[in-house]
Amino acid sequence: MSGRRIGFWYRLAAVLVKPPLVVLFKRDWRGMEHIPVDGGFITAINHNSHLDPFSYAHFQYNTGRMPRFLIKAGVFKGGFVGAFLRGTSQIPVYRESTDAANAFRAAVDAVNRGECVAFYPEGTLTRDPGLWPMRGKTGAARVALLTKAPVIPVAQWGANQALPPYAKRPRFFPRKTLTVHAGPPVDLSAYYGKEPTAEVLRAATDDIMAAVAELLSEVRGERAPTERYDYRAGKSRAAGEPPAAEEESK
């Protein structure tokens, strides 16, 4: 079963968003052959700029497979943005409430219907000093192990050079290159059939994040740290390892 048809709202977004992306940025897209032609699947994407969802969405739109993002429920309220999110059937996430499990169920249902569900496993913009992927949350792994759907790692770089994390003003010039690189599916077969304990989910999540970090290493031409930054636990990467400069090229 193939993914849902593009539909009015996605086409409208493409009309509004694609022209400025094409004008303001160069593109370096790789790995579209790894995006399944049909059937449900999951993408796991690194997050280093408020602009990079547009970069990834542009890439994914051009594959013909429309992504469904998990987005904070408050953004769905009223206005054009809310109408767009509802019209494209994005998945609301109700954090710290009794409805929190609904996003997980909706993601599983979407994958089982043959759609693409896009996860930012870090859950927020990276806080790693070198802008590497942080320790991931287990949502993508939970959905993957329940559905046995392919998990496609996606690495992005370049949007952060136009709008660094938590910066207030973009720097569009000189013109930056938005790189999006999709890799082959992460092999999670070793976890199939196992009880989804915290240890199993953590191991599967670490495999997913390692695949994303490896792709980003290729894009940046640098070696990724072996230890993931974990801001929730106050941990930094391996001691003594200097952070990469924010404005380094890929």
Tokens 């013109």 identify what position?
175
pLDDT in tens, 229-244: 998 776 444 433 443 3
Residue 235 is classified by DSSP as B
Please say whether the beta carbons of 180 and 59 come within 8 A: yes
pLDDT, averaged across the chain: 88
Question: How would residue 176 be classed by pLDDT, with cut points 50, 70 and 90?
Answer: very high
Please say whether the beta carbons of 141 and 188 come within 8 A: yes
Which pLDDT does position 234 carry in this prediction?
Answer: 63
pLDDT in tens, 47-60: 999 999 999 999 99
Which pLDDT does position 147 carry in this prediction?
Answer: 97
pLDDT in tens, 185-195: 999 999 999 99
Per cent of the chain over pLDDT 70 is 88
Which pLDDT does position 45 carry in this prediction?
Answer: 98
